[in-house]
Structure 1
Amino acid sequence: MVRRRPERGDVRQRGRDVRRPDRLSEEAAEAVSTGLHPALERADALYALGRYDEVKTLLGQRLAEDPEDVRAWVRLARCHLRVEGEADRALEATDRALALAPEDTGALIQRAYALQAAGRLVDTEEVLREVIRLDPGYWVGYAQLGHWLYRIRALRFGHANGGEVTREAMDSFLRESDELAREAVRLAPEEVFPYEVRRTIADLSGDRALAAEMDQAILRIDPNHPQALARHTRQAAAAPGVKAAEAATLYADALAAAPDSAPMRQGLDDASYRLLRGVRWIALLCVGLAGAMLDLFATDGHAQRELPVPVGQRLWTLVPFAALWAVGALLRFRRLRKGVQYNLRSLIRRRRWPRIVLGQAAWAMLCALLLTQVPWADRPVPQIVFWAGLAPTAATIWFDRRKAN
């Protein structure tokens, strides 16, 4: 029997989530091997568009014409795997393909995916080791087995030991998996999936340096890889000394490369919220300046200022207020990237706490203006206004750090 490697459309993993390695990239799904039957070429094109029902119909017609078309059975299995609840039908399709070509590595790979989808992860090891035996120079067998082997070992170990897996045993399983992933990297240094597997293993092992190295390798191959880009950006934005505006710019740049990344959108929202939280400090500083102007609280050895404060001095306090807002808010906002500016406006419309933050800033600023512009003759009422402007904001400013919603 002639041994076949899987076609590009069967196995290529570029840029996909490592948790679902059976997903195919659009580039790979569109790839058409020479010599395919026209029906299979049309099936590949429909598969790339996500029209799985039409793919199954077309492949069914092809198999009615030629029940021994191994490539059609493999494609049918792949299509069933993309539809929830059809793992058993995918297994049936791979059974038919392997009955015709027992050494077809493409059929074996799809069978491993079908077994995993059917909840039979432990059974995939034998299938993938057969792939490696048949084609030791083929990277997918090593990468996929490395991705699943530590889980298989942990399941077997836990079953034999009352459900518990020791740290030492898990480390051993991870090392065994990493050896397979390293071999996949050696065989296919320009494929993303082996690096994704090594990155997952490094994360589980607590090896942050290796995890960062794998992220760099992934981004070298695929600069728009959503997960690696999200991790890299999150790490850069959380580095010591990175201010909210810098973090927002980092997330905005990442979103320009991966606009559909939910972690990047959340990161941009969080950084934008940090920017809005800074506005309240400006308002609180204004309240503090207003209290200092009125000399609201007596201290030993210090004579309090006579009230009311002259009108010229009251008007003069508007100058530092305006300067604080111009430099701390307006100028800072105008220097932000357009994408960050738009997100700030959007965040205020979409989320409750950003509106609360702005409301607190407005309330504190109103109290500051009342303190400075009203000609108070005594201090009890201004003291109440001062605490009314200061206390509500100060009471929430420490615990709403993470409340972007």
Structure 2
Amino acid sequence: MCWPRWARCGPRPARGSTPRATWPSSPTRAARTTICWPTSSGSGCCERRRRGRKRRRGPYMSGTGTEHPLTAQAAALIELERYDQAKELLARRLAGEPDDVRAWVRLAICHVNTKDFEDALHATQEALRRDPEDFDAHRFRSFALRRLGRSDESVAAAREAIRILPDHWMGYTALSEALISPPDRWPQAYEAAVTAVRLGPEEVGAHRALWKAALANGRRDVCDQAVSEVLRLDPSNAWALHERATRKAHSKEAKLPEVAQGYAQALAAAPSDQGLRKGLEGTLFRMVRGTRWLALLCLLIAVLTARVFPTEDDPTALPAPLGTRLYALALMGVVWALGAWRAYRKLPHGAKLGVWSLVRREFWVKLSLYEAVWCTLCAALIVIVPWTDRVFLQVLTHAGWVPPLITIWFERAALREAR
């Protein structure tokens, strides 16, 4: 296992131990930035670091017992994403005690999340005027400056946060995001994100920062590994589920039921996400459209069985034997049963209900389902009724295949124009 000198924070691990995950090296420091994580979160240097000092509490967490109740209540509201209510409490606190640095920092957090970046910058300046060594104030100042397009100042603020706490992963995530803006700094952003993961291997934010930096550098393999790590740490993480579902949707190898399952899982974690909802509905619509091919296959079975278009080598006597027609009818039932089983067996219950909701609401979904039912009905009539006139059989055949195939042709033409 490779432990570079700059990455060590204790004795070298025992020979023969197995690393849990190995992140690729930085493009600019290929040989010496290979990172090997301990087998578990309770082994290696990370455990010794936890024993040596208490982990620093982040700004989103409730403070210690000495914190003012209004500031602590605001922290709880921030965790619930109720930023306007948190602003009101912090404004009351700062009106009575303007030197409360924690209140200023949490006010900056509220402004960052509500995209009031000028106000966030003002709040961090007030916090730093009272405590120039506040780590969180520098970090959120970096976020605000980056969103305001002041990238050099954002990098400087992030480096100042790292100077204050050089072993804290949050400072390196801030630096990585600050370096993401100019393309010539993308390798440095990737390097900072790798360092963040090294310092916080069990932190979702560190892996998400690495995903962003790897995406900018074109490292899709690292992006996939970062999403997998986030889901390992938090299986219900909405962002990671969304990213995995989107990746499946754009993959040519993924099947529609797998894509729908991914969208359904992500939507369960973020039920208000309209992009996920549209993605799930679009996938379900494609699955319903696929039923027309099952119906056309049933029609083909019926045509071959009932001798609708005989050739010189085929018998021409009508009607076809009863046993043959019953066998064809059973085969058509197997086609539908297997098709429905493969398509819908892995779908969550909510996605199955979504299919019927789409059928009730959307005209094109109804049309696709009606065409599949009509085509199957024509196929069933061909094999059930003992026809003696081949003209009726041919009329039923053309009536069954013409509507779905015409619709499929128009849909494909529309998709080609959209591309």
Could you give the per-residue CA deviations for residues 119-165 of structure 1, whole angstroms, max 9, x where no partner exists? 434431122222222332232222111122131x34xxxxxxxxxxx
Listed one character per residue, the Cα deviations across residues 286-318 of structure 1 (whole Å, up to 9, x for unaligned) are 32233224433353x3476244x2794797367
Q: Structure 1 residues 281, 320: CA separation in 2 closer, same or farther (over 3 Å shift)?
A: farther
Could you tell me how far apart the structure 2 residues matched to 1:241 and 1:51 are?
Answer: 41
Q: CA deviation at 1:191?
A: 1.6
Matches of residues 269-280 of structure 1 in structure 2 within 5 Å? 269-280=281-292
The aligned counterpart of 1:362 is 373
- Counterpart of 2:393, as a letter, is P
Which of the numbers 66, 70, 84 marks the counterpart of 1:39? 70
- Distance in 2 separating the partners of 1:215 and 1:327: 36
CA distance in 2, matches of 1:242, 1:149: 34
Contact 1:296-1:379 at 8 Å conserved across structures: yes
Aligned equivalents of 2:152, 2:112: Cα separation in 1: 18
Compared CA separation, residues 315 and 356, structure 1 to 2 (3 A): same
Q: Which amino acid aligns with 1:207?
A: R
1:231 maps to which residue?
243
CA contact (8 A) 2:257 2:343 kept: no
- What is the Cα deviation at residue 111 of structure 1? 1.9
Cα pair 2:298 2:335 within 8 Å, conserved:
no
Quickly say closer, same or farther: Cα 1:237–1:87, change in 2 above 3 A.
Answer: closer
What's the counterpart of residue 298 of structure 2?
Answer: 286
Residue of structure 2 aligned with 1:349, choices 360, 363, 369: 360
Q: Which residue in the other structure is 1:213 paired with?
A: 225
Whole-Å separation in 2 of the counterparts to 1:289 and 1:135 = 72
Which residue, 169, 179, 184 being the options, matches 1:149?
179
Write the distance in 2 (CA, Å) between the matches of 1:103 and 1:239: 47
Counterpart contact for 1:192–1:221, Cα < 8 Å: yes
Question: Aligned in 2, Cα 1:210/1:399: closer, same or farther, shift over 3 Å?
Answer: farther
- Aligned-pair Cα RMSD in Å: 3.7
TM-score by length of 1: 0.74
Conserved 8 A contact 1:73-1:97: yes
How many residues in Structure 1 have an aligned counterpart in Structure 2? Answer: 360
- Report the Cα distance in structure 2 between the residues aligned to 1:46 and 1:54, rounded to whole angstroms: 7
2-side partners of 1:110 and 1:329: how far apart?
A: 53
Give the 3 Å change call, closer, same or farther, for CA 336–88 of structure 1 in structure 2: closer
- Please name the residue that 2:86 is paired with: 55
Match of 2:109 in 1: 78
Contact residue 252 and residue 268 of structure 1 kept, 8 A: yes
Task: State the distance in 2 between where 1:57 and 1:232 align.
Answer: 37
Structure 2 unaligned blocks of 5 or more: 1-54
Q: 1:305 aligns with which of 288, 313, 316?
A: 316
Match of 1:120 among 124, 145, 150: 150
Conserved in 1, the CA contact under 8 Å of 2:257 and 2:347? no
Unaligned runs of 5+ in 1: 1-5, 11-28, 155-169
- Asked if residue 202 in structure 1 is aligned to residue 233 in structure 2, the reply is no
| TM-score, normalised with respect to structure 2 | 0.71
Q: CA 1:203–1:352 in 2, change beyond 3 Å: closer, same or farther?
A: farther
Q: Does 1:392 align with 2:392?
A: no
Residues 306 and 325 of structure 2 are in contact (CA less than 8 Å); yes or no, is this contact kept in structure 1?
no
Which residue of structure 2 aligns with residue 159 of structure 1?
none
What fraction of aligned residue pairs are identical, expressed as a percent?
36
1:314/1:373 contact within 8 Å kept? no
Residues 62 and 298 of structure 1: CA distance in aligned 2, closer, same or farther (over 3 Å): closer
Structure 1 residues 271-280 or 248-257, which shifts more?
A: 248-257
Partner of 2:9: none
Q: Conserved in 2, the CA contact under 8 Å of 1:7 and 1:106?
A: no
Alignment of 1:185-196 (within 5 A): 185-196=197-208
| Distance in 2, Cα, partners of 1:331 & 1:55 | 50
State the partner residue of 1:319: 329
* Contact 2:120/2:144, CA 8 A, preserved across alignment: yes
